[in-house]
């Protein structure tokens, strides 16, 4: 089941993430939004930074992974690693809420 989370950076752009949760890890991560990334070809770095991450990390843990991936020379404009981390946590919470509703 795919989970989706979004975050709009105050004064900035929307960043969103879709992911599957498999065996307690983030899988099939896709990052979208109206932010800018230079070079554009670096977009897989964002998803790759999160792929196979444990679902138990907090926002700071996800942000560190994204920041480390961007350290290769890519620049995220209009958003931030922290904003993407918020979107991930929201996706995981939304997924947990959906699963809890299905348990009823």
Residue 88 has a CB neighbour count (10 Å cut-off) of 29
Contacts of residue 92, defined as CB under 8 A and 6 or more positions apart, other chains included, come to 3, 5, 21, 55
The pTM of this model reads: 0.89
Give the model's confidence band at 1: pLDDT under 50 very low, under 70 low, under 90 confident, else very high: low
Q: Report the mean per-residue pLDDT for the chain.
A: 91
Give 34-78 pLDDT, tens digit per residue: 999 999 889 999 999 999 999 999 999 999 999 999 998 899 999
Give 66-85 pLDDT, tens digit per residue: 999 999 889 999 999 999 99
Domains of the chain are: 2-103 (3.30.390.50)
Task: Name the 3-class secondary structure at 15.
Answer: strand
Specify the pLDDT at position 30.
96
């Amino acid at each position: 089941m795919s989970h989706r989370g979004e975050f709009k950076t105050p004064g900035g752009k929307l960043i969103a993430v879709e992911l599957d949760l498999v065996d307690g890890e983030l899988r099939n991560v896709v990052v979208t939004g109206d932010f800018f990334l230079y070079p554009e070809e670096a977009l897989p770095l964002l998803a790759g930074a999160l792929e196979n991450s444990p679902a138990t990390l907090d926002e700071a843990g996800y942000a560190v992974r994204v920041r480390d991936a961007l350290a290769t020379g890519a620049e995220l404009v209009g958003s931030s690693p922290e904003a993407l981390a918020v979107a991930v946590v929201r996706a995981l919470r939304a997924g947990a809420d959906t699963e809890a509703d299905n348990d009823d």
